[in-house]
Structure 1
Amino acid sequence: MATELIEESIDIDASPQKVWSIVSDLRTMGERSPQCKKMFIFGGDVKQGTRTLNINRRGPLVWPTNCKVVAFTPNQEIAWKIVENGTVWAYKITPKGDGVTLTESRTAANGETSKISSFLVDRAFGGNDNFEVELHAGMRETLGKIKRSAES
């Protein structure tokens, strides 16, 4: 069983608009994420309902996922649902002083993912506990890259 909510946060000395310009540019996700190497956007600009095809990589393993943007509030939140496993990935921007707190999360409703996803996590990723440790580390890496970009 997956942890229902995995999240990491970072404080960034930049405006919500600056941080939003980075996190909402899904075409550049591969520059920040250690696992999602490329997001192909369908239908022009990213907005609620936009669909993506993502290419993910972990070591020698490469796999595609399909997503749909399920939340899109400029300067506040963007989230997308992975079709193959039902998880939702999100970025939330919360103003804090002269900057923001940026939170990245992955939600697995009721701690459940698809049977194929659970099987692959167990067999290819060393089990759920190891995989979730890796997800936390990946979130921290991604948030750090966003922070450096927004503050430069």
Structure 2
Amino acid sequence: MEWTGARYADRPTVEVRTWIDAPPEKVWALVSDIELMPDMSEELRSVAWLDGATRPAVGARFVGRSEHEALGSWQTTSHVIECEPESVLAWAVEDPAAPSAVWRFRLRSERGGTELAQWMQLGPGRSGLSAAIDRMPDKEQKIVFVRLREFERNITVTLARIKQRAEA
């Protein structure tokens, strides 16, 4: 049976949503505090603003350090590409014109609380996953599928931790 899944060049995406029993302003305070994110994430180890920035704004940059059992440790610089308080926060990893990934939190007032979605897109720029694909091009679709499932699991954990803090 031939593997039929997304290729990296397809810019595959993952999105996970949760409902939080807290107003958008409280949820925004958590998702926009990027220095809290290592406590919420399975891979992210540290985050720090660059260039004197202290909060998200379009054009602000931050460095993130991550770790993965199979991929090792790495550092990336991200650029905030969307920032609407209590609504959306998005960043492009590395080159904003051809990012290795794009990440987005979207908040929506719903049923007296907040629907929080976290979305991510692989590519189109090269990433650590690109090296694995280069080594095993015949397994590209499986590599992409497995990594997207990891992101889905990790995002689910992140949203659960944000929900727990917001509802506390």
**Does the 8 Å CA contact 2:104/2:120 hold for their aligned counterparts?**
yes
Per-residue CA deviation, residues 82-109 of structure 1 (Å, 9 max, x unaligned), is 016612101000110110110000124x
TM-score of the two chains, using structure 1 as the length reference? 0.88
Structure 2 unaligned runs (5+)? 1-6, 137-141
1:96 to 2:110 alignment: yes
Look up the equivalent residue of 1:18 and give its one-letter code: K
CA shift for structure 1 position 22 = 0.1
- How many residues end up aligned between the 2 structures? 148
Inter-partner Cα distance in structure 1 for 2:24 and 2:132:
35
- Does the Cα contact within 8 Å between 2:66 and 2:75 map onto a contact in 1? yes
The residue that corresponds to 2:66 in the other structure is 56
Cα 1:116–1:67 shift into 2, 3 Å? closer
Q: Within 2, Cα distance between the matches of 1:10 and 1:53? A: 27
Indicate the residue corresponding to 1:147 in structure 2.
163
Alignment of 1:55-94 (within 5 A): 55-59=65-69, 61-83=72-94, 86=99, 87-94=101-108
Partner amino acid for 1:12? Answer: I
**1:45 alignment partner in structure 2:** 54
Tell me the C-alpha RMSD between the 2 structures.
Answer: 2.0
Asked if 1:12 corresponds to 2:26, the answer is no
Q: Which has the larger radius of gyration?
A: 2
Unaligned stretches of 5+ residues in structure 1? none
